Amino acid sequence: MAELRDAGMTSKAWPFEEARRLLKRYEAAPPEKGHVLFETGYGPSGLPHIGTFGEVARTTMIRRAFEAISDIPTRLICFSDDMDGMRKVPDNVPNAGMLREHLQKPLTSVPDPFGTHESFGHHNNAMLRRFLDTFGFEYEFYSATEYYRSGRFDAVLKRAVERYDDVMKVMLKSLREERQQTYSIFLPIHPETGRVLYVPLKEVNAQDFTVTFDDEEGREWTLPVTGGNVKLQWKPDFGARWAALDVDFEMYGKDHSTNTPIYDRICEILGGRKPEHFTYELFLDQNGEKISKSKGNGLSIDAWLTYASTESLSYFMFQKPKTAKRMHFDVIPKAMDEYHQQLRAYAGQDAAQRANNPVWHIHGGDVPQSHMVVPFSMLLNLASVAGAEDRETLWGFIRRYAPEATPETHTDLDAAAGYAVRYYNDFVKPEKVYRAPTEQEAEALDTLRNALRAYEGPADGDALQQVVFDVGRDRFDPMRDWFRALYEVLLGASQGPRFGGFIALYGVDNTIRLIDRALAGELS
């Protein structure tokens, strides 16, 4: 543990860099509350998307790094802004017509279109918790509705009334002149309709902590700011929450970065200490557009877990958080294989190397062994050539290639075989296009077939790769044209695995038959 702590104090892995910055916050004295508080926020206006998971995963990585270099206890809370008014109906939910009747109501006052929970907000909160629990995150769930209505935010709301002018000065500087005329940091909840009102305030009373306003019909109302009668606009709400909860660390997407000085200053005005921040780049769909909860575009968490392991998704989130990430299905195989490469490397690494290895941050130091004796990309190609409809088909080849492997002893490989079959059938099979070989390629394939017939060595990927290389060396320049021909003619793909390894897994005799079919025109 001492070695890891020393390594963490110099590691260039971004979670350790952030952990060290957070540790400096308490150089002079430990936190009065007795712990360091990490927070992540969630807006339940739509179903949770993969970016929400990424925020919690990355915050957890920093939390683990902090715990490795410090003895200060930590907590992580996931805060749901479920008292926000529903501004629009999401595109990816049922019963949209019913939801339109409840626009502008707090999300926890909108009926659940799925019919399974107390409200739409409760449904989306439950979805988020289910997703987070799947990954084994340690967190506490906080609801804005509960905090506003139970009185837990009353103290900070009263402070916001007392310091109303100071908070308003911060906000007005960031608004256009037209918006300044009607803006208030407080949003009343209409006593009759239950809707969140964006109306100018006629009075903010610091004596009895009330606000007075006219509703859309011109009727005047006076409401206490406490007890859930009023909520804060979203920017003041950020800073107020930090002050109320004494948050030490929160990360958020780049789209929030310009508001950071506003959040920080409001937190300070309301008596808090601004937290440490980490801004990450946004997640994009296959078209390069920002992932949106209301649109439901981009990969969902459930979709990723249909085709790959939870750990591969965590690995994807670890990589370059300051770089925009395109979240589409074609990123999955690379994430799977690189995760297991790092697992295999971990066992032979020293403390400094382990502190930089993504798998330490994914598993919090309790790193498992990899039993992936066949790479995921190779399983995909095998599924493609074998036309696999189930994982047992793949195990027929795996057992011959690695006799010691069984589904019971190599559970990660068994799971990967199932993922590969699903991925092949849903994404590879519909796009697979074979082509006929050129005259030069046909001659080379014929030579390769004869070389494989004469091969008497073991089913070793390196040795077989040399056979493939020797055939192409005198015929193709550059050599990548030879391997591209193998992939396009034999596998129906533009790229593929190290071909010697594929032959070892698929079998020499099977590969000979595959070449025969290609030369006979049966594939194309």
What pLDDT was estimated at residue 71?
95
What pLDDT was estimated at residue 291?
62
Query: Which residues are CB-contacts of 421 (< 8 A; sequence separation ≥ 6)?
Result: 383, 388, 389, 390, 391, 393, 394
> Rounded to whole angstroms, what are the CA distances from 370 to 286, 462, 467, 511?
30, 21, 29, 28
In the structure, what pLDDT confidence band is assigned to residue 281 with cuts at 50, 70 and 90?
confident
In the structure, what pLDDT confidence band is assigned to residue 482 with cuts at 50, 70 and 90?
very high
Least confident span in 322-326, 345-349, 372-376, 383-387? 322-326
Q: Distance between CA atoms of 267 and 180, rounded to whole angstroms?
A: 21
Of 128, 54, 78, the residue nearest 323 (C-alpha) = 54
What pLDDT was estimated at residue 295?
53
Q: Distance between CA atoms of 242 and 205, rounded to whole angstroms?
A: 24
What pLDDT was estimated at residue 329?
83
More confident residue, 327 or 456: 456
Q: Is the omega angle on the peptide bond into residue 478 within 30 degrees of 0, that is, cis?
A: yes
What pLDDT was estimated at residue 296?
52
Q: Alpha helices, DSSP H only, in 204-253? A: 234-245
Query: Which residues are CB-contacts of 95 (< 8 A; sequence separation ≥ 6)?
Result: 113
CB 494, CB 371: distance < 8 Å: no
Q: Distance between CA atoms of 151 and 224, rounded to whole angstroms?
A: 12
Half-sphere exposure of 476 (CA within 13 A, CB side): 23
CB 460, CB 504: distance < 8 Å: yes
Q: How far is CA 75 from the centre of its chain?
A: 21
Tokens of 522: 């049966």
In the structure, what pLDDT confidence band is assigned to residue 52 with cuts at 50, 70 and 90?
confident
The 3-state DSSP class for residue 263 equals helix
Least confident span in 49-53, 80-84, 228-232, 447-451? 49-53
Q: What is the mean pLDDT of the chain?
A: 92
Q: Distance between CA atoms of 38 and 375, rounded to whole angstroms?
A: 36
pLDDT at 261 exceeding the cut of 90: yes
Q: Alpha helices, DSSP H only, in 256-350? A: 260-269, 301-307, 310-318, 332-346
> Rounded to whole angstroms, what are the CA distances from 158 to 196, 226, 346, 359, 471?
19, 8, 53, 46, 80
What pLDDT was estimated at residue 328?
77
CB 374, CB 30: distance < 8 Å: no
Q: What angle, 0 to 180 degrees and rounded to 10, lies between the N-to-C axes of helices 499-506 and 508-519?
A: 110
pLDDT (average), residues 329-341: 93
Tell me which amino acid residue 282 is.
L
- The residue length of the chain stands at 524
DSSP H or E stretch at residue 96: helix 96-100
What pLDDT was estimated at residue 286?
64
pLDDT (average), residues 53-69: 95
Radius of gyration of the chain, Cα coordinates, nearest whole angstrom: 29
pLDDT at 205 exceeding the cut of 80: yes
Tens-digit pLDDT profile for residues 417-453: 999 999 999 988 888 899 999 999 999 999 999 999 9
DSSP letters of 419-454?
HHHHHIIIIIHHH----PPPHHHHHHHHHHHHHHHH
pLDDT (average), residues 274-298: 72
What pLDDT was estimated at residue 2?
84
Tell me which amino acid residue 154 is.
D
Tokens of 219: 């009727």
- The label of the residue with tokens 């598993």 reads 363
In the structure, what pLDDT confidence band is assigned to residue 285 with cuts at 50, 70 and 90?
low
Task: Give per-residue burial for 30-42: e unless 16+ CB within 10 Å, then b.
Answer: eeeeeebbbbbbb
In the structure, what pLDDT confidence band is assigned to residue 298 with cuts at 50, 70 and 90?
low
Instruction: Name the percent of the chain in helix, strand, coil, to the closest 5.
Output: 50, 10, 40
Tens-digit pLDDT profile for residues 148-180: 999 999 999 999 999 999 999 999 999 999 899
